[in-house]
Amino acid sequence: PPFLPPPISSSNCSESTDDCHIDALCQNTPKSFKCICKTGYKGDGKHCEDMDECENDYNGGCVHDCINIPGNYRCTCYDGFMLADDGHNCLDADECLDNNGGCQQICVNTMGSYECQCKDGFFLSDNQHTCIHRSDDGMNCMNKDHGCAHICRETPKGGVACECRPGFELAENQHDCKLTCNYGNGGCQHTCDDTDVGPVCGCHQKYALHSDSKTCIGKSLSLIHTHSDVDKRVKRRLLMETCAVNNGGCDRTCKDTATGVRCSCPVGFTLQPDGKTCKDIDECLENNGGCDHFCRNTVGSFECSCQKGHKLLTNERTCQDIDECSFERACDHICINYPGSFECVCHKGYSLYGLTRCGDIDECSINNGSCEYGCLNTLGSYECVCPPGQKLHWNKKDCVGKASVSPRAQLSCIKTGGGEYLTFWDFCGTYKQQFYIQFSGTAYEVAQRAVRQTDGDEACSIGQVLTDGKCVSCGVGTFYSGEQEQCMICPPGTYQDREGQLSCEPCPSTEGQGIAGAKNVSECGGQCPAGQFSADGFHPCQPCPLGTFQPEPGRVLCFPCGGGLMTKHTGSTSFRDCEAKVHCALGHYYNATTHRCIRCPGGTYQSESGQNYCITCPGNTTTDFDGANNVSHCKNQLCGGELGDFMGYIESPNYPGDYPSNVNCVWTINPPNKRRILIVVPEIFLPIEDECGDVLVMRKSAQPTSITTYETCQTYERPIAFTSRSRKLWIQFISNEGNSGKGFQVPYVTYDEDYQQLIEDIVRDGRLYASENHQEILKDKKLIKALFDVLAHPHNYFKYTAQESKEMFPRSFIKLLRSKVSRFLRPYK
């Protein structure tokens, strides 16, 4: 009947009873269902397989490389090009826009690549980025007229032979270099074919070759037909504005529509009111581009960077403090990390020099260490010595007569039923629990109470206690009590300045009882203050008389001003209180004999005015000149670095402090057989004010005419990486008496020569230096060490997981290296 509802039919698709392929869609029909392969797949629906869009004659519409992926495809561009907004065309990337392409002097953009050039008087080094001074002497590769278009090599017979950079071939004249399709795609935007006359450019089917024979422009649909087929409608269309003519007037993307052309802009640009022009969006204006610290606008994008002492994390937005203290050789002694910086601190008795190094202080050079008689310098400390017949005072500075003490000890032998034992009584009035005696020609060590045997096989030594199963000496300010079998604090009126002792020494003065647990005589109390003295250094005291001074407490004498000088008053505490005839400036000392100010001699300094001494430079450092007024003028003269077969570094003397004058450092890197050298100069500071008086040069040998790899006499805070032009390197750094600077620390690595083409391809690519983030990688000691570790020993690559690599390096850096490695390995696939 017509009022009855239609019968309910089962749906195979909803009940999942169909047998469609996993890459197919199930579609219900009135009586059943049908399977349809998804877009990007082909088959009958029961069986679907991926459709390789890249296999057709159009290469998937990609003008360079087409990569097939399941159900789809994507286009990629060769190095030196960037993908257009249509996802298919490839446009030239202007590498010179970013940090001058890494060129030291001049950058010239070309289709698919770029070139570095040098100013007059220089020629381009093999690393294709830095420039080297030309020479006018001899017929060699350093001579400006060697004639090679690219690379010059010296022959064993003393002549020259020319070579070309990768992607070029040597011309028949053996001097010029011919471009091939292997370099920058031969200067072609789309396709390149090598011929006898050089690269010949072609275009994808949807494009036509421009009159410059390199660039490709899009065809309009009407231009596909022959001229005989052109009708009036097509002629009218040609008179109209189309994308086929001058890109429709559009700055970037052009699309033909029924109403004319329509222009659009890529991400990072905005279309202007004229409908044609694209204007760069300054992303930094809004919320600083999301950057933690600095935001730098670039054409079509932006870049975050960090303040000095911070590094950009892999999200390329967040800045994190660099913990310099985690670096090897950061500081000699103690390293303190601060946000954006760090500080090196030296142990007591040492002084900081070169910003990070610690050298022993020669305290004896500072007024004889304040010793009354002799002074002996030791590492990290010093000792005062006295002449025969005298001994050091409690203050360890003054000398006093040796007191003769008559021993008043009583020995008693007591017999018992099982034997006899000896008792020892001391009447010297000294509180001790341990004595050394000689009885009947035999030496004995006696203690008030024997040391208790531990549960283990061994007993703790005298003056030690068992703590957590270990024997620990009683510290300063304490003593070991045999009765209590533990360390006890020295009572007031006593002190102990050594560990592991069985008693405390009595304070020299009973007037001031001092504190409990005194660690030295100065904590006993009752000492004479600075400017006063007494027979024992303790109260009662009297002021230093006129013509003398005393800067320290607890002394038994005052120092004379010398030269008959008087002081302004009694109780003087410094030589500056002496009425010298002239007040000496920094870097000078007062000579009391001649009554003149004398410049501190080389190797010494004086950072205070009005003093009568100069301080010896710490460690093995010295000064470049007389009259130094600060410890920073003390410099290490030794040439720095560590040279290894696989990795190492060279550094200027006193680095990271300023290097000294008149140095001549020479290093030689001679790698094992079949290995080549890669060098990274993170930054270098050589002042140019003295007309290249300070020079770093790397060449094959000490001969001035030998092949030069690198040479500079200037400051460059921008990093550069390059391979050596010779299998071994002779490196020299010389400085004159002019200006000084921080210098350099240059790491290097040797790698298997089979990777030579890959390494050169990487270091010669301007994108390695174009980004500030990439530059910071080459300055990061930890990241460089990780990269060098893999280059020197490729199997170490497997030590790092993919996640660790992502956390170490920004995406753009990984992408750059991956493309280089893939291209290098492609012939072996």
pLDDT tens for each residue of 694-745: 999 999 888 888 888 888 888 888 888 888 888 899 999 999 988 889 999 9
8 Å CB contact between 276 and 289: no
573 pLDDT higher than 90: yes
221 pLDDT higher than 60: no
* Amino acid 444: pLDDT: 66
Strand intervals (E) in 595-742:
596-599, 604-605, 615-616, 640-642, 647-651, 664-669, 675-681, 684-685, 695-699, 708-712, 720-723, 729-734
Residue 229 main-chain phi, psi, to 5 deg: -90, 0
192 located within any domain: no
Whether residue 226 is found in the same domain as residue 352:
no
Q: Which domain holds residue 274?
A: 219-280
* Amino acid 453: pLDDT: 45
Whether residue 719 is found in the same domain as residue 794:
yes
690 located within any domain: yes
CA within 13 Å, CB half, 145: 4
678 pLDDT higher than 90: yes
Residue, of 770 and 47, whose pLDDT is higher? 47
Whether residue 661 is found in the same domain as residue 704:
yes
Residue 188 main-chain phi, psi, to 5 deg: -95, 145
CATH of the domain at 347: 2.10.25
223 pLDDT higher than 70: no
Domain count across the chain: 5
CATH of the domain at 293: 2.10.25.10
747 pLDDT higher than 90: yes
* Amino acid 502: pLDDT: 84
347 located within any domain: yes
* Amino acid 31: pLDDT: 79
pLDDT tens for each residue of 493-504: 888 988 888 888
Q: How many CB atoms lie within 10 A of CB 219?
A: 17
pLDDT tens for each residue of 32-48: 888 889 888 889 988 99
Q: Which of 350, 361, 384 is nearest to 555 (CA)?
A: 384
Query: What confidence category does residue 4 fall into, taking pLDDT thresholds of 50, 70 and 90?
Result: very low
Q: Which of 539, 533, 580, 526 is nearest to 552 (CA)?
A: 533
8 Å CB contact between 121 and 135: no
716 located within any domain: yes
774 located within any domain: yes
Mean pLDDT for the chain overall: 83
788 pLDDT higher than 60: yes
8 Å CB contact between 753 and 675: yes
Name the helix (H) or strand (E) containing 195. strand 191-195
Helix (H, G, I), strand (E, B) or coil at 239: helix
Chosen domain end from 267, 293, 321: 321
Residue 323 tokens, joined: 């913990």
Total-model pTM: 0.64
* Amino acid 328: pLDDT: 85
Instruction: Report the alpha-carbon distance of residue 796 to residue 806 in Å, rounded.
Output: 17
Whether residue 247 is found in the same domain as residue 298:
no
Whole-angstrom distance between the N-terminal and C-terminal Cα of the chain?
Answer: 72
Instruction: Report the alpha-carbon distance of residue 455 to residue 193 in Å, rounded.
Output: 89
Whether residue 804 is found in the same domain as residue 701:
yes
Instruction: Report the alpha-carbon distance of residue 655 to residue 642 in Å, rounded.
Output: 13
pLDDT tens for each residue of 489-543: 998 888 898 888 888 888 876 665 678 888 887 788 788 999 999 988 888 899 9
Cα four-point dihedral sign 136, 139, 143, 144: positive
CATH of the domain at 752: 2.60.120.290
* Amino acid 138: pLDDT: 54
23 located within any domain: yes
Whether residue 674 is found in the same domain as residue 745:
yes
Whether residue 715 is found in the same domain as residue 666:
yes
The secondary structure of the chain in percent helix, strand, coil, rounded to multiples of 5, reads: 15, 35, 50
Average pLDDT over residues 38-65: 85
* Amino acid at site 283: E
Residue with tokens 């003390």: 634
* Amino acid 11: pLDDT: 58
* Amino acid at site 403: A
Instruction: Report the alpha-carbon distance of residue 246 to residue 208 in Å, rounded.
Output: 12
Whether residue 684 is found in the same domain as residue 777:
yes
Helix (H, G, I), strand (E, B) or coil at 236: helix
Whether residue 665 is found in the same domain as residue 648:
yes
Whether residue 276 is found in the same domain as residue 288:
no
pLDDT tens for each residue of 307-332: 988 988 888 899 999 999 998 889 99
186: left (phi over 0), alpha (psi -120 to 50) or beta: left
pLDDT tens for each residue of 580-606: 989 999 999 999 999 999 999 999 999
Whether residue 784 is found in the same domain as residue 667:
yes
* Amino acid 454: pLDDT: 45
538 located within any domain: no
7 pLDDT higher than 50: no
59 located within any domain: no
Q: At what angle do helices 772-779 and 811-825 cross, to 10 degrees?
A: 80
Whether residue 658 is found in the same domain as residue 743:
yes
Which range (265-269, 449-453, 542-546) has the least confidence? 449-453
Q: Which of 730, 627, 749 is nearest to 676 (CA)?
A: 749
